[in-house]
A and B are shown apart, each in its own frame.
Chain A
Amino acid sequence: MMKTSAEVNLLLLLLVFTLHVKGMRYSPPGKPALTRCRSPEKETFTCWWESGSDGGLPTTHALFYRKENSEAVYECPDYRTAGENSCFFNKNNTSIWVSYNITVVASNALGSTFSDPVDIDVVYIVKPNHPEMVTVTVLEDKGWPFLRVSWEPPHKADTRSGWITLIYELRVKLEEENDWEMHLAGQQKMFNIFSLRSGGTYLVQVRCKPDHGFWSEWSSTSYIKVPDYIQREKPMWVLITCFCAFIFLILTWLLHMNGHSLKDFILPPVPGPKIRGFDKQLLKNGKSDEIFSSLVVSGFPPTTSPNCEDLLVEYLEVYVPEEQELMEESKDLHDICLKSEGCTSDSDSGRGSCDSHTLLMDKFREAKEEKRQRDQEKSRTGTEDQRQQKDWEEEGLTYAYEDMVSPNISSGRVETWPSLFSPLPQYSSSRHSQKSSLEKAKKHCFSDSLFPPGSTSFSLDQGGQTTMEAIRSSNREFSLRIKQPHLLHSHTQARCQLQAHSEVNISSIGCKQALGGLRSPAPHSAEYVEVQRVNEENTVLLQPVESGHGHIDGCSQLPLGKDYSRVQGVDRYNRLLLKGEVPQEGDCLYDYQDMTGDGTENCYTSSSVPSIQKPTACIHTVIMGHDEMVLAENGYIDTLTARTLPNY
């Protein structure tokens, strides 16, 4: 005995010595601590502890407990079942409603350390396992789906006998969201979730708790996908429909507000007849006879059928060249004018005596001839033409519509005088203008056919009519006016006609015009404008020729029916000599004014001068270089010429 104890002591000393020699410091173990005790079903429980420092020596732990009403200390019956550093109390060792006083002891070679005692009552440390068999299904309630979640209590918890009463809680969330939606289910084992998102995937978890104790862990996640029960397109279509309806309402409101102006924009009002003194009611009545009769100026149509040659004036060349040139050109012009052939007047037919094609040819020929002449007198003629045009135009303008045709007319005029007049501004490019004007003449001549011969717009003779038609074609916008019966100089509206006529006339280069050839179903009287004079601004002042009106050159009167469609020539005074085709009276010489400006010679086919009836002179101020005025008793001034004025 002594030996064994001595040996033991020696061994211990050696151990300590060796350990000491090794330089390690050893100490009794640190204080352990009970971390927690849990009971899953109120029938067993487990306690866990953690150890303190082991002091460098292998330490062992032991758990001792003492029940409430006894002083007996028992040691933990099971250290392994629950794992490391744990003590498991089985059913036989578990008493509820009894406090346990538990202590853990850590001991090593150097000593042992007791932990702080802990009093527990099993009833209050119950933490059940999570619910089991969680099932989630999608059911329908009147077409609307909902989730039904059902579960079972943990199999260890004896809820059936009432030993444990559990209350449940579940949480739901969408797959893509972060926040859970909590629902307390009480003691029931089933729960319904409504208001689901169509086509979404839901995550469901359940946990439980005894009426006294801790919440269990969440059960494993259950996934459920809700079928699509809301058509995705519907809200979009509803939105689109509402948007369109809104836009439609706005448009309707805008239309309502601006309806009138919009209507005017889309359907511009048809201009009504603007003939002075003309009753619109006649048009509304629709009786053509009345209309034409009202437009007809009595006495217009020449009672005598003039000769074609007399009636037709191929062209009127009006320019203001130098006097010599004027003389020459006047002669040439005269010759050219006289050369114009091909048309036999047909005052009855209502159309040009010559076919348009024929007239066209004539025009071309004359245009070519004039071209040569124009080359010499480019700018001057041009200006002259334009001046004359302007004068005549001005005449019309002064009569009625100052605003109507002025620049356009002038431009049209320029266009419609292909060979005779070059465009005003292009003095230098007379040739070009001649060409263009030639083309325009072509155009115009072609356009002759476009206009019905019976149009009432022009009161020229056949040739003149054709030319006017041609001119008209180029100035379609003015065709209406030209067509207007007021050209038949029975009214003051004749001014407008004069304008139109002048336009047309200018274009009718070389076209034979019948002074009296005012085309209209009704006998028309030709009104002619006399070139009264040229004022300082080089404008040709035209005077309507009236019966009984005295004129300078002796063709004292121009009774109605006289046609002044022929330009006789240009005298040295830069006066346009118009020839009045009055068989009785013979030809009168009319002065015409040279048109300065472009070099084109302008042969004016006089249209019916509506101003004839007017006592006041048609004053077309044609800007010309000469002061002299050309009075044309029988001559008539083109509406074209009348246009020249506005050009300036």
Chain B
Amino acid sequence: MTMTTVIQRAVWVLFLWPYLLTCSLPLDCREDHGSFSRCPSISQEKLLDRVIQHAELIYRVSEESCSLFEEMFVPFPLQLQRNQAGYACITKTLPIPSSKSEIQQISDKWLLHSVLMLVQSWIEPLVYLQATLDRYDGAPDMLLNKTKWVSEKLISLEQGVVVLIKKMLNEGMTTTAYSEQGLLQFDGQPEMLESVMRDYTLLSCFKKDAHKMEILLKLLKCRQTDTYNCA
């Protein structure tokens, strides 16, 4: 390094020395680092609101994607019959409460954990779905963009729920580890009715589960703000 570059850098350092102390920290900074908690923390209510907003958006986009796919690829007679082909939702095994009365009975912890389970179980299928849709001929770009967007947002939603759990329940969780091989394999040829129906079922199930997430989070929020009047 020549002398000039050294001098330039020194000058820069001298001018910008106050900013050296600052650093861009991830949002979910660890609070267990000690006194220097320069990590900008976010309040629990705001975090919960943001998570709920995420969930609402995800649900809306998934609903639009499902409608698009249904118009494009699903033959009309089969549109009204969901889960007809026997493709059950992958999350049906999850112990998700299915009625309001049930939901009222479970605790906050279980609500959060349920949401986390849902989110984490859908991350990989969405990746798969995105890949499958790419292979479709004539798939509109809007559909592809939406599914891509949804999968990305789901990941951030997962992160938010994790932080939320940490804040509310003081539990440490780990995020999902992405694996290349998903639960679902590519089988068959795309655009055949079977695969179409499978993908259609996938989208429908995801739409339903997104709605579940949204409802659960909203109920959780109600409990946080107004415990006695919440349903």
Complex CA–CA separation, A42 to B60 (angstroms): 18
Q: Determine whether the beta carbon of B208 is less than 8 Å from that of A123.
A: yes
Q: Determine whether the beta carbon of B219 is less than 8 Å from that of A97.
A: no
CB-CB nearest in chain A for B104: A161
- B54-72 contacts to A, CB under 8 A, are 56, 59-60, 63
Q: Determine whether the beta carbon of B96 is less than 8 Å from that of A163.
A: no
Contact pattern, A 141-180, Cβ under 8 Å of B = 1, otherwise 0: 0000000000000000010111101000000000000000
Q: Determine whether the beta carbon of B222 is less than 8 Å from that of A94.
A: no
Contact pattern, B 91-107, Cβ under 8 Å of A = 1, otherwise 0: 01000101111000000
Q: Determine whether the beta carbon of B98 is less than 8 Å from that of A95.
A: yes
User: Does residue B229 face the partner (Cβ distance < 8 Å to A)?
Assistant: yes
- A199-217 contacts to B, CB under 8 A, are 211-212
Q: Tell me the interface secondary structure of chain A in the complex.
A: loop
CB-CB nearest in chain A for B91: A97
> From residue A418, how far is it (CB to closest CB) to chain B in Å?
116
User: Does residue B215 face the partner (Cβ distance < 8 Å to A)?
Assistant: yes
> From residue B60, how far is it (CB to closest CB) to chain A in Å?
7
Contact sample, A vs B, 28 pairs, CB 8 Å cutoff: A43-B100, A68-B83, A69-B88, A94-B99, A95-B98, A96-B98, A96-B99, A96-B100, A97-B96, A97-B212, A98-B98, A99-B82, A119-B81, A119-B82, A119-B84, A121-B208, A160-B230, A161-B218, A161-B219, A161-B222, A161-B229, A162-B52, A162-B215, A162-B219, A162-B221, A163-B100, A163-B215, A211-B60
> In the complex, given contacts A162-B222, A211-B60, what are 20 additional A-B residue pairs having Cβ atoms less than 8 angstroms apart?
A42-B100, A43-B100, A68-B92, A91-B100, A95-B98, A97-B96, A97-B98, A97-B212, A99-B83, A119-B82, A158-B100, A161-B219, A161-B229, A161-B230, A162-B215, A163-B215, A163-B218, A163-B219, A211-B59, A212-B211
Complex CA–CA separation, A158 to B226 (angstroms): 14
> From residue A50, how far is it (CB to closest CB) to chain B in Å?
19
User: Does residue A92 face the partner (Cβ distance < 8 Å to B)?
Assistant: yes
Q: With a CB–CB cut-off of 8 A, which chain A residues contact B81? A: 119
Q: When the two chains form the complex, which single residue of A69, A97, A160 contacts B211, counting CB atoms closer than 8 Å?
A: A97
> From residue A277, how far is it (CB to closest CB) to chain B in Å?
110
Q: Determine whether the beta carbon of B99 is less than 8 Å from that of A119.
A: no
CB-CB nearest in chain A for B223: A161
Q: Determine whether the beta carbon of A95 is less than 8 Å from that of B99.
A: yes
Q: When the two chains form the complex, which single residue of A92, A121, A123 contacts B101, counting CB atoms closer than 8 Å?
A: A92
Complex CA–CA separation, A82 to B90 (angstroms): 35
Q: Determine whether the beta carbon of A163 is less than 8 Å from that of B211.
A: no
Complex CA–CA separation, A55 to B198 (angstroms): 43
Q: Determine whether the beta carbon of A161 is less than 8 Å from that of B211.
A: no
> From residue B202, how far is it (CB to closest CB) to chain A in Å?
16
> From residue A69, how far is it (CB to closest CB) to chain B in Å?
6
> From residue B77, how far is it (CB to closest CB) to chain A in Å?
13
Q: With a CB–CB cut-off of 8 A, which chain B residues contact A91? A: 99-101
Complex CA–CA separation, A98 to B100 (angstroms): 12
Q: Determine whether the beta carbon of A162 is less than 8 Å from that of B218.
A: yes
- A28-45 contacts to B, CB under 8 A, are 42-43
User: Does residue B168 face the partner (Cβ distance < 8 Å to A)?
Assistant: no
User: Does residue B231 face the partner (Cβ distance < 8 Å to A)?
Assistant: yes
> From residue B107, how far is it (CB to closest CB) to chain A in Å?
16
Q: With a CB–CB cut-off of 8 A, which chain A residues contact B52? A: 162
Q: Determine whether the beta carbon of B99 is less than 8 Å from that of A69.
A: no
Q: With a CB–CB cut-off of 8 A, which chain A residues contact B219? A: 161-163
Complex CA–CA separation, A385 to B155 (angstroms): 135
Chain A residues engaging chain B, CB cutoff 8 angstroms? 42-43, 68-69, 91-92, 94-99, 119, 121, 123, 158, 160-163, 165, 211-212
Q: Determine whether the beta carbon of B222 is less than 8 Å from that of A160.
A: yes
Q: How many A-B residue pairs have CB under 8 A?
A: 66
Complex CA–CA separation, A399 to B60 (angstroms): 116
Q: With a CB–CB cut-off of 8 A, which chain A residues contact B101? A: 91-92
> From residue B23, how far is it (CB to closest CB) to chain A in Å?
38
Q: With a CB–CB cut-off of 8 A, which chain A residues contact B208? A: 97, 121, 123
CB-CB nearest in chain A for B205: A97
CB-CB nearest in chain B for A118: B80
Contact pattern, B 33-64, Cβ under 8 Å of A = 1, otherwise 0: 00000000000000000001000100110010
CB-CB nearest in chain A for B220: A162
Q: With a CB–CB cut-off of 8 A, which chain B residues contact A97? A: 96, 98, 208, 211-212
Complex CA–CA separation, A227 to B229 (angstroms): 42
> From residue A204, how far is it (CB to closest CB) to chain B in Å?
28
Complex CA–CA separation, A301 to B45 (angstroms): 132
> From residue A77, how far is it (CB to closest CB) to chain B in Å?
15
> From residue A120, how far is it (CB to closest CB) to chain B in Å?
10
Q: With a CB–CB cut-off of 8 A, which chain B residues contact A161? A: 218-219, 222, 229-231
> From residue A30, how far is it (CB to closest CB) to chain B in Å?
23
- Residue of B80, B212, B226, B231 most packed against chain A (CB within 10 A): B231
Complex CA–CA separation, A305 to B47 (angstroms): 140
Q: With a CB–CB cut-off of 8 A, which chain B residues contact A211? A: 56, 59-60
Q: With a CB–CB cut-off of 8 A, which chain A residues contact B63? A: 212
Complex CA–CA separation, A99 to B89 (angstroms): 11
Q: Closest 8 CB pairs between A and B?
A: A162-B218, A161-B222, A95-B98, A161-B231, A161-B230, A95-B99, A158-B231, A98-B98
Complex CA–CA separation, A94 to B103 (angstroms): 13
- Residue of A43, A68, A96, A99 most packed against chain B (CB within 10 A): A96
Q: Determine whether the beta carbon of B211 is less than 8 Å from that of A123.
A: yes
Q: With a CB–CB cut-off of 8 A, which chain A residues contact B100? A: 42-43, 91, 96, 158, 163
Q: With a CB–CB cut-off of 8 A, which chain A residues contact B96? A: 97
CB-CB nearest in chain B for A69: B92
Complex CA–CA separation, A99 to B99 (angstroms): 12
Q: With a CB–CB cut-off of 8 A, which chain A residues contact B221? A: 162
CB-CB nearest in chain A for B218: A162
Q: Determine whether the beta carbon of A163 is less than 8 Å from that of B98.
A: no
Complex CA–CA separation, A43 to B83 (angstroms): 22
Complex CA–CA separation, A96 to B212 (angstroms): 9
Q: With a CB–CB cut-off of 8 A, which chain A residues contact B80? A: 119
Complex CA–CA separation, A160 to B100 (angstroms): 14
> From residue B187, how far is it (CB to closest CB) to chain A in Å?
24
Complex CA–CA separation, A123 to B208 (angstroms): 9
Q: With a CB–CB cut-off of 8 A, which chain A residues contact B56? A: 165, 211
> From residue A209, how far is it (CB to closest CB) to chain B in Å?
13
Known: A99-B82, A119-B82, A119-B83. A160 touches B229 (CB 8 A): yes
Q: With a CB–CB cut-off of 8 A, which chain B residues contact A95? A: 98-99
- Residue of B82, B101, B215, B218 most packed against chain A (CB within 10 A): B215
- Residue of B80, B99, B211 most packed against chain A (CB within 10 A): B99
Complex CA–CA separation, A43 to B219 (angstroms): 14
> From residue A47, how far is it (CB to closest CB) to chain B in Å?
16
Complex CA–CA separation, A163 to B218 (angstroms): 7
Complex CA–CA separation, A160 to B221 (angstroms): 10
Q: With a CB–CB cut-off of 8 A, which chain A residues contact B98? A: 95-98
Complex CA–CA separation, A374 to B136 (angstroms): 135
Complex CA–CA separation, A163 to B219 (angstroms): 7
> From residue A133, how far is it (CB to closest CB) to chain B in Å?
19
CB-CB nearest in chain B for A164: B215
Complex CA–CA separation, A42 to B82 (angstroms): 19
Complex CA–CA separation, A121 to B207 (angstroms): 13
